[in-house]
Structure 1
Amino acid sequence: MAAPEQTPPTPAAPPRRPNILYIAGDDLGFSDLGAYGSEIPTPNLDALANNGVRLKNFYTGPACSPTRSMIFSGMDSHLAGVGVMGGSRPEHKGQPGYQGRLNFHVASLADLLKDAGYNTYIAGKWHLGWSEETGPVARGFRRAFVSLDGAAHLGPFSWNDDGTNRYRDGTQLVTASHDFYSTRAYTEKMIEYIEADRAEGKPFFAFLTYTAPHWPVQAPDEAIARFKGKYDAGYDALYEQRLARQKALGLIPADAKGAPRAEGQPAWEELTGEERRIEARKMEVYAAMVSELDIHVGKVLDYLKSIGEFDNTFIIFTSDNGAEGGRRETMSPLKEWVEKCCDNSLENLGRGDSYIMYGPNWARVSAAPFSHLKGSGYEGGVHVPAFVHYAPLGRAGTSVAGVGAVMDLLPTFLELAGTAHPGSTYKGRPVLPVAGVSLLPMLRGEVDSPRRDPDYVGWELGGQRGIRAGDWKIVWDSREGDQARWRLFNLANDISEQNDLAESEPDRLAEMLVFWEDYHMRNHLIP
């Protein structure tokens, strides 16, 4: 008797590829979230950090455009075309690494994920090309709503060109309306994009790149009101409070002393009563911006949970660089525009027709425990809060100490998507190889450090230089002029970079300078 015919087993469904959601703050300092020592309530981001994996040593570029170029290229900003920001020196004119936009020698992250079957979305700051040909749609985003300025939050006014707050919606240029609020708009756009294509069943890559809390400090009245009076004790007291909280949270050593105020900056007690009221108001507005960012992140997380995609979404949060301490509204050409356009009276500070920055002393608070600020190679310029939430990692509430950098995100996301960089050619044009490495082995706990030979990361922008290798760091501050020199720090016991060891550790300095020369050569720096 013949054996009964066997029904072939049903093939197992292939595992679902994860969605990828990258949330970025703009000029957010290391200590500005509750999970990193802040008094500002940020429960949604804190929950991601506390239930995810923190990257304790994560680095960006010294400023926003270089950082973004590294995210989308997987290599140093000089190779990606953004070795300069805000104007070139004469020797940079016409040079391939100094165009100030994402060049076509790289295969864009969004293009690669789109080719791999992902829907690709961006809402917020692009800053990698102003024209349609160099905008986000041309570089791989299916849907895009991006700021061309990045320096306005409420209403239609901004300081560039004709004084309007301009955006690119897809490929179309648009101007913000009078009731426009950037943080709300980016959030609503991103949810709209994901929902519009959800029926297709594809995974998505979403870059939610907020422009808060970048200058000018502006927020809705009701948000600012929540912080009224909270900063009347001043920036010096708040600095010590945040430092104490970071110690209590185990984020910094118990004996860490932080960094002093910048030279020439007054103690809080030295300010007049009116100066204190103005300064406190600035920080009230800044805190409102950070709080509002968190509230709107919560709306995105709630949406993902409502459609059953939260646990299948790899969520990473970082800032794009360190805290900004400048006062550009007091300098030309911004100063003249502000004098004509804006009402910077105490009662109006934070509204859409005011235009101010919160300044170096509050920025020092944001950067705690690090020294220096955005634009420098010191920790305060490039070492940012960073964490990943992704349930399949199975590593909730942990941290990793290996050095990671924004150029590592492209290979990390490609590995998550099950695809690879094309190598030396993309769509018929030659492209450069990726320099970053996937962070997934470190996030899974398989390795202590994602980097091998050479095991260092480096930065350069406008003559500001830095190299980190292991616990050692060298920094060159071009703002010192004729007094500029390489300084050497051991971050293992000097996270605030206060003890220069260049003279006492000449052999170590020489070793670090070998890394600098390698960085300079690999990335074709000029000079």
Structure 2
Amino acid sequence: MCKCLLVLIAIITACAVADQSSASAGTRQDAGQPNIVFVLADDFGFHDVGYHGSEIHTPTLDALSASGVRLENYYVQPICTPTRSQLMSGRYQIHTGLQHGIINSCQPNALPNDSPTLADKLKESGYATHMVGKWHLGFYKQEYLPWNRGFDTYFGYLNAAEDYFNHNVPWRQVRYLDLRDNNGPVRNETGQYSAHLFTGKAIDVVQSHNTSKPLFLYLAYQSVHAPLEVPEKYEHKYRNITDKNRRTFAGMVSALDEGVANLTQALKDKGLWNNTVLIFSTDNGGQIHAGGNNYPLRGWKASLWEGGFHGVGFVSGGALKRSGAVSKGLIHVSDWFPTLVTLAGGNLNGTKPLDGFNQWDTISNETPSPREILLHNIDILYPQKGVPLYSNTWDTRVRAAIRVGDYKLITGDPGNGSWVPPPDGHLYFVPEIQESAAKNVWLFNITADPNEHNDLSSEKPLEVLRLLQILVQFNNTAVPPRYPAPDPRCDPALHGDVWGPWE
């Protein structure tokens, strides 16, 4: 069995490499290299977009997705840094050392610079590359800042979360500024709500763009991550929602939706829209305790249940020659790297082996997805659960999850597996299925049971063993996780009262 599985993984990897190497003019739009605009929302849950039946109004996202392709078998990661690292690198976090947690404020850690970023490769293909918003891929050295990772310009913040109006982050009971551009700290935007501020800066990029080059704009909104803050006029629209967190969160979503509308209009006013591909994605599932909702999916942000990483995503724009479509092809955030580099007419020379697949034909022509296996993660540093259930295969105490075809396997501690229905005034939970506290293996047919109600691990032990062995093979390729202790030299008081590099 082991040898067969090795062959299977080798075949799939070879297919990925073949897809990645097939950059050609045939994949490019008739008008030439398309402009690429990637909008990333933060903590935006499956049930937080209007077209998934939410009580929150998202007319812009609904209309853009309806005019393009809604990705309904689309996966990200359960938390911030891993998703952003896979978008920028095209590589699983087990291959970059970022498989445990996020990069915290004072950790001397970052996305390794041993392989080019998506921005590097698009710049190599002649694109003007710009980023606005949340970085969260490490900043303890200058070399890890966005403008040293392929972006011509940057405006935004470096940490995981901050105040929406004052743009500061606490350290030892003092709040310090985290807002900068290529020229240094930005101190004159206090009071500007970040969704408005970042939208405005993105529009500035569009308006000043030299159209002799194609444009790559990465807009990583702070919205709708905690803290729950929004101008009152947005929250007032949802005064019928009695749960305070959900009401404020709904207002934040409306401000985000308005921002995307304004950016889209700017692209049209500049004459760029007809040759633009716009991608919208969340970075992980919604955080239930901060107003988000993932109904009918099980679990939420930071869990290995579908609510943690079955993402909201769509592709739109005038350069997409398909509209009103729903894609059921299996697509992962790591796939954007080879997909967009290929779409831009570039090549994948110089990269370390990628885990992403070129999905442009799946998105634009409805061809079957080339992806058969999706490693959600392997986290050997997460506290183990229970006892090993098998010998000579994967240690089921270790936190991991993998998708192979229709089947998804979870081992270790997946996190809270409650279902949280949409609020009808107050947040309430459908409890987890009562299980042994030591249980550490679950198997689901996600195609037939997307909301994970029916655990098949007892009925299909051979399928469990097959997927456990594939986890072993993936783990054999993993690099050690990097999760260093906080470095007190990070203290912003030592660096002009601003968050930034300290080494």
Provide TM-score, normalisation by structure 2.
Answer: 0.77
Paired residue for 1:50?
66
* Residue 172 of structure 2 corresponds to residue 158 of structure 1: no
Corresponding residue for residue 120 of structure 1: 129
- Tell which deviates more after alignment, 316-325 or 392-401: 392-401
Offset from partner CA, 1:393-451 (integer Å, 9 cap, x none): 4320111112111110010110111001114xxxxxxx512221111011123521122
Which of 300, 323, 339 is equivalent to 2:263?
300
Distance 2:254 2:30 in 1: 40
176-185 or 65-74, which deviates more: 176-185
For structure 1, which segment, 404-413 or 514-523, has the greater mean C-alpha deviation from structure 2 after superposition? 514-523
Name the structure 1 match of 2:421. none
In structure 1, the residue corresponding to 2:186 is in which secondary structure?
A: strand
Counterpart in 2 of 1:400?
Answer: 327
Deviation at 1:508, TM superposition (A): 1.1
1:146 equivalent among 118, 139, 156: 156
Question: Matches of 2:40 and 2:100 in 1, distance apart?
Answer: 21
Could you tell me how far apart the structure 2 residues matched to 1:47 and 1:102 are? 35
Judged with a 3 Å threshold, the aligned counterparts in structure 2 of structure 1 residues 65 and 53 are, in CA distance, closer, same or farther, namely same
Residue range with higher mean Cα deviation, 506-515 or 20-29: 506-515
Question: Is residue 134 of structure 1 aligned with residue 144 of structure 2?
Answer: yes
Give the one of 249, 263, 278 matched to 1:286.
249
Q: Find out whether 1:201 has 2:212 as its counterpart.
A: yes
Offset of residue 526 of structure 1: 5.7
1:103 aligned partner: 112
1:375 and 1:31, CA in 2 relative to 1: closer, same or farther beyond 3 A? same
Identify if the C-alpha distance between structure 1 residues 392 and 169 changes in structure 2 by more than 3 Å, giving closer, same or farther. closer
The aligned amino acid for 1:436 is: G
Mapping 1:58-97, distance limit 5 Å: 58-86=74-102
Quick check: 460-469 or 372-381, which moved more? 460-469
Instruction: Report if aligned partners of 1:218, 1:285 keep a CA contact under 8 Å in 2.
Output: yes
Asked if 1:174 is matched to 2:101, the reply is no
Contact 1:60 1:382 in 2 (8 A): yes
Q: What are the residue-to-residue correspondences of 1:329-348 with 2, within 5 Å?
A: none
- Secondary structure at the residue paired with 1:387? strand
1:450 is aligned to 370
Other structure's SS at 2:179 match: strand
* Structure 1 residue 295 displacement after superposition: 0.4
Q: Which residue of 2 aligns with 1:259?
A: none
Kindly indicate whether the alpha-carbon contact (under 8 Å) linking 2:94 and 2:481 is maintained by their aligned counterparts in 1: no
Matched residue SS, 1:444: helix
Residues 107-506 of structure 1 mapped to structure 2, 5 A cutoff: 107-131=116-140, 132-149=142-159, 150-160=161-171, 162-175=174-187, 177-198=189-210, 200-228=211-239, 230-232=240-242, 280-326=243-289, 357-358=290-291, 363=292, 366-423=293-350, 431-445=351-365, 447-451=367-371, 455-461=373-379, 463=382, 464-478=399-413, 483-506=438-461
1:173 and 1:460, CA in 2 relative to 1: closer, same or farther beyond 3 A? farther
Q: CA deviation at 1:225?
A: 1.5
CA deviation string 1:322-355 (max 9, x = no partner)? 11235xxxxxxxxxxxxxxxxxxxxxxxxxxxxx
Q: Which has the larger radius of gyration?
A: 1
Amino acid at match of 1:168: R
Whether 1:31 and 2:41 are equivalent positions in the alignment is no
What is the Cα deviation at residue 174 of structure 1? Answer: 3.1
1:203 deviates by 0.7
Q: How many residues align?
A: 412
Tell me, which stretches of 5 or more residues in structure 2 are unaligned?
1-28, 383-398, 416-435, 483-503
Cα distance change on mapping 1:165 and 1:498 into 2, 3 Å: farther
Change (3 A) 1:503 1:525: farther
Cα distance change, pair 299–390 in 1 and its aligned pair in 2 (3 A): closer
Range with greater deviation from structure 2 (23-32 or 484-493): 484-493
Distance in 1 between the 2:96 and 2:68 partners?
31
Q: Distance in 2 between matches of 1:499 and 1:518?
A: 27
Gaps spanning 5+ residues in structure 1: where? Answer: 1-12, 89-97, 233-279, 327-356, 424-430
SS in 1 for 2:33: coil
The TM-score normalised by the length of structure 1 is 0.74
- Partner AA of 1:287 in structure 2: A
Distance in 1 (CA, whole Å) between partners of 2:238 and 2:188 is: 27
Instruction: Write the distance in 2 (CA, Å) between the matches of 1:517 and 1:56.
Output: 29
The residue type paired with residue 88 of structure 2 is F
Deviations 1:125-161 (Å, cap 9, x if unpaired)?
A: 1101124321100101011012123232122443345
Q: In 2, Cα distance between the equivalents of 1:390 and 1:303?
A: 13
Do the aligned residues in 2 keep the contact of 1:148 with 1:166 (CA within 8 Å)? yes
User: How far apart, CA to CA, are the structure 2 residues paired with 1:306 and 1:390?
Assistant: 14
CA pair 67-219 structure 1, distance change in 2 beyond 3 A: same
Q: Give the corresponding residue for 1:520.
A: 475
User: How far off its partner does 1:457 sit?
Assistant: 3.3
Kept in 2: contact 1:63–1:374 (CA 8 A): yes
Superposed CA offset, 1:20-72 (max 9, x none): 00011100001111112112111111111111111111111121101101001
Residues 68 and 316 in structure 2, CA contact (< 8 A), matched pair in contact too: yes
Post-superposition offset of 1:85:
2.7
- Give, in whole Å, the separation in 2 of the partners of 1:282 and 1:371: 20
Distance 1:445 1:177, change over 3 A: closer
The CA deviation at 1:99 is 6.8
Tell me if structure 2 keeps the 8 A contact 1:31–1:38.
yes
Work out whether residues 79 and 524 of structure 1, in 8 Å CA contact, stay in contact via their aligned partners in 2: yes
- In 2, Cα distance between the equivalents of 1:166 and 1:391? 35
